[in-house]
């Protein structure tokens, strides 16, 4: 007897708790508006190429010159030349135990985050993830059977975590600690004493430390990036990096993962990583030829982030717009490509980040990301990128201010009535 076909096909239940609003419902609505001929300005995504940034010429040339050598699969962990360049960079940073055997190249850091968690987690294992986080981290924990446990990085503390609060979140199922530095979405850059405290915490409790450092060379003014791997000896540290941000090569899909620390305790875990790497055969071969030139060639990011550089000017434009706003507040971004401003709920008591983002898109044709998308409990923040030119950002924030003023005006009768009572 033939099996009856289901009336509807449903997605996996594992996706019910997964969110990724950076490319989610609002982005889909933006594309619908564009299909009707409406121009949409985007502040939602850290994709340098769509804002006029170029991948450095010496990276392009390296890929073009080696195309003839890129037509076969490479070793599952990546080209030897690429991994050797990553190891050399890690050792220059003081990571004594970096090695080509414990280095992996992937199709962006995103793939490697998934692989690293898949190789580690058993169902129900817990991972300490910052809140706010880059939402792929929370999603990957969930999709690999784990439970994300969020530790607060509060705006009143400069979006930095407090070590004492981490201790209270530990359980016998805690397996790993995630650090995102420089931070997406907040722009925080972690000071060295805090990083040493996080490393010691992971060592004390036998946690795998996973450090997302994709924005490592994008810092401003006096902020200084410190890699955490040299601070870790008595547990395993995973350092994630890539070409997408510092080298403006998002479309190349090149990321890497370097293991260091107490590697003698990680033989089985390393075997799992190699197995998963082999199951996907290898990562994109042509773009791997850009890794060595990127890490060994000329510095192309410093001119952009120092005073007078385009990214510095755009960051200052956002900083100024927030400072001059009647509704917004945020600590200055010390690194990365984002600000995470909060809205004064005294002025707009019923403010909802998602409703605001949708209204801003429909009325002002400006796309940004609601703050609650980054796994925080509050709903009065949003994330913007400062990749556009400074002059454009000033105009974009004028539209944000206009929409906030409209919401404040709409809220005024209710506020006045509440005051009268």
User: What average pLDDT score do residues 272-300 get?
Assistant: 96
Please work out, in degrees rounded to the nearest 5, the angle formed at the alpha carbon of residue 113 by the alpha carbons of 107 and 119: 110
Q: How many CB atoms lie within 10 A of CB 273?
A: 23
pLDDT band at 363 (very low <50, low <70, confident <90, very high): very high
Quick: pLDDT tens for 190-246.
999 999 999 999 999 999 999 999 999 999 999 999 999 999 999 999 999 999 999
In which residue are the tokens 């950076």 written? 22
Average pLDDT over residues 286-305: 97
Work out the average pLDDT over 311-324: 97
**Over residues 34-51, mean pLDDT:** 95
- What was the pLDDT predicted at 415? 56
CATH of domain 13-53+303-415: 3.90.1150.10
Ranges in the chain annotated CATH 3.40.640.10: 65-296
pLDDT at 416: 52
Q: Per-residue confidence at 412, pLDDT binned at 50, 70, 90?
A: low
- Return the CATH number of the domain spanning residue range 65-296: 3.40.640.10
**Which pLDDT score is estimated for 10?**
77
What is the rounded distance in angstroms from the CA atom of residue 249 to the CA atom of residue 47? Answer: 9
Taking residues 309-335, report their average pLDDT.
96
Query: What pLDDT was estimated at residue 420?
Result: 41
Phi, psi of 379 (to 5 degrees): -130, 35
The pLDDT tens digits for 56-106 are: 999 999 999 999 999 999 999 999 999 999 999 999 999 999 999 999 999
233 neighbors 244 (Cβ within 8 angstroms): no
Interval 404-410 mean pLDDT: 94
- And the tokens for 251? 């479309």
3-class SS shares of the chain: helix, strand, coil, % to 5: 45, 15, 40
Pinpoint the residues of the chain covered by CATH 3.90.1150.10. Answer: 13-53+303-415
Q: How many whole angstroms separate alpha carbon 375 and alpha carbon 371?
A: 8
Q: Report residue 421's pLDDT band, with 50, 70 and 90 as the boundaries.
A: very low
Does the pLDDT at position 20 exceed 90?
no
Q: Would you say residue 280 has pLDDT above 90?
A: yes
- pLDDT tens profile 136-170: 999 999 999 999 999 999 999 999 999 999 999 99
Which pLDDT score is estimated for 14? 80
CB 184 within 8 A of CB 301: no
Mean pLDDT computed over every residue of the chain: 94
Q: Phi-psi region for residue 94, left (φ > 0), alpha (ψ -120 to 50) or beta?
A: left
């Amino acid at each position: 007897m033939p099996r009856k076909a289901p009336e509807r096909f449903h997605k996996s239940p594992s996706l019910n708790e997964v969110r990724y609003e950076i490319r989610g419902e609002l982005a889909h609505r933006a594309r619908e508006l564009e299909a009707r001929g409406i121009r949409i300005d985007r502040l939602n995504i850290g994709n340098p190429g769509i804002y006029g940034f170029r991948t450095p010429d010496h990276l392009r040339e390296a890929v073009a010159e080696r195309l003839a050598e890129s037509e076969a699969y490479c070793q599952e962990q990546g080209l030897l030349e690429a991994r050797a360049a990553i190891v050399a960079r890690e050792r220059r940073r003081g990571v004594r135990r970096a090695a080509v055997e414990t280095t992996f190249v992937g199709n962006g850091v995103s793939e490697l985050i998934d692989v690293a968690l898949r190789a580690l987690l058993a169902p129900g294992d817990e991972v300490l993830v910052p809140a706010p986080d880059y939402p792929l981290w929370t999603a990957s924990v969930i999709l690999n059977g784990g439970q994300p446990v969020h530790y607060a990085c509060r705006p009143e503390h400069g979006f930095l975590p407090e070590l004492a609060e981490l201790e209270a979140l530990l359980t016998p199922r805690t397996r790993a600690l995630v650090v995102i530095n420089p931070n997406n979405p907040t722009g925080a850059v972690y000071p060295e004493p805090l990083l040493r405290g996080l490393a010691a915490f992971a060592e004390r409790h036998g946690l795998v430390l996973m450090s997302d450092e994709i924005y490592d060379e994008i810092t401003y003014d006096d902020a200084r990036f410190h890699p955490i791997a040299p601070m870790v000896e008595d547990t395993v540290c995973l350092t994630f990096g890539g070409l997408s941000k510092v080298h403006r090569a998002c479309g190349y899909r090149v990321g890497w993962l370097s293991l260091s620390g107490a590697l003698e305790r990680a033989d089985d875990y390393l075997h799992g990583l190699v197995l998963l790497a082999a199951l996907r055969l290898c990562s994109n071969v042509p773009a791997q030829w850009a890794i060595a030139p990127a890490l060994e060639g000329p510095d192309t990011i410093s001119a952009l982030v120092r005073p007078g550089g385009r990214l510095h000017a755009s960051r200052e434009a956002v900083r100024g717009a927030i400072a001059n706003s009647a509704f917004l507040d945020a600590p200055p971004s010390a690194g990365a490509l984002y600000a995470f401003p909060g809205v004064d709920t005294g002025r707009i008591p019923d403010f909802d980040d998602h409703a605001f983002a949708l209204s801003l898109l429909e009325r002002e044709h400006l796309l940004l990301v609601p703050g609650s998308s980054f796994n925080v409990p509050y709903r009065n923040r949003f994330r913007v990128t400062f990749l556009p030119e400074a002059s454009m950002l000033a105009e974009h924030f004028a539209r944000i201010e206009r929409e906030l003023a409209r919401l404040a005006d709409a809220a005024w009768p209710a506020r006045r009535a509440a005051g009268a009572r």
